[in-house]
Amino acid sequence: MVEVEGLRKHYGPVRAVDGISFSVGAGEVFGLLGHNGAGKSTTIRMLTGRSRPTGGSARIAGHDVVSEPEEIKPLINLVFEDQNLYERFSGRDNLAFFARLYEAPASRVDELLELVGLTGAAGRKVKTYSTGMKQRLLIARALINRPRILFLDEPTRGLDPTSARELRNLIADLSRRGTTVLLTTHYMEEADELCDRVAFLSAGRIVALDTPRELKLKRGERAATVILRSREEKTIRLDDPADATRLQGWMVKGDIVAIHSREGTLEDVFVELAGRPL
């Protein structure tokens, strides 16, 4: 659904995006992770036709982003980082307005309100909505045209934990329904939970690209922490026969409460590759 090859965006001497390549499959959730200024938002601007690349190529559902923008527009939609809603409209009126712009059937409005859990608040003015409700309304608006690819720029930024979880559940549900999602985020836990694959951007370049699981396993310790009923914590090495014997003994006695692997976190991997935490 998304094919990027050697994509570049330069502003004079500044190489905002410096020759990145990746692809995103249908129904995949793909994450772009990096510091401010790493090139995440610039990449999305190029893929959505809002910024012309300096070099390289990108295709959306087989269409070139530079030469075929009109073919791409009906296939995509975008949720900006800023919540640019009509605050004095109701939630339903916000969606109805965009349904008319996209020439979508009126029934699409109620369908989307139900999808994002806003049916009960549909008649209220948006200025009375919480930040999480506004973000769900933005996603509903972006789904008006039934996009095959949805771009999300920092979708859970500023949300409380409950609202962020609801939004992540919604994104996962969209993926299961076949929508391809390309998102940027600063939150490593969110990327770990949501993304099928992630790309780490640093200074305009991709420094790692893989599934969250593989990235963590490649840089984790071959060890585990065992918590016993006495609440003691013991460290065992997975390739040490003596530790295997210790573990077997605790299991036979029923002393084990929990076992946690020592695999690295995405944050650990990112710091190792990009030099500093998000």
Q: What is the DSSP letter of 164?
A: H
Helices (H) and strands (E) in the chain, counts: 10, 13
**pLDDT value for 155:** 87
Give the strands of the sheet with 180-185, arranged side by side: 76-79, 149-153, 180-185, 29-34, 197-202, 205-210
What's the rounded mean pLDDT across residues 187-192? Answer: 88
How many alpha carbons fall within 13 Å on the CB side of residue 216? 17
CB contact set of 132 (below 8 Å; sequence gap of 6+): 159, 160, 162, 163, 164, 166, 167
Residue 206's nearest CA partner among 1, 13, 57, 5 is 5
pLDDT in tens, 229-270: 999 999 998 888 999 999 999 999 999 999 987 777 888 888
**pLDDT value for 220:** 66
Give whole-number Cα distances, 238 to 43, 123, 209, in Å: 41, 58, 27
Cα 221 to chain centroid, rounded: 26
Q: How far apart are CA 234 and CA 119, in angstroms?
A: 51
Structure tokens at 77: 């939609």
Q: How far apart are CA 8 and CA 223, in angstroms?
A: 41
Fold that domain 2-75+147-217 belongs to in CATH: Rossmann fold (3.40.50)
Structure tokens at 119: 């049916």
Q: What angle do CA 96, 101, 107 make, to 5 degrees?
A: 40
Predicted TM-score of the model (pTM): 0.84
pLDDT in tens, 156-185: 887 888 888 888 998 999 999 999 999 998
Phi and psi at residue 12, to the nearest 5°: 65, -125
Q: Are strands 180-185 and 29-34 parallel, antiparallel or unpaired?
A: parallel
Q: How far apart are CA 86 and CA 64, in angstroms?
A: 32
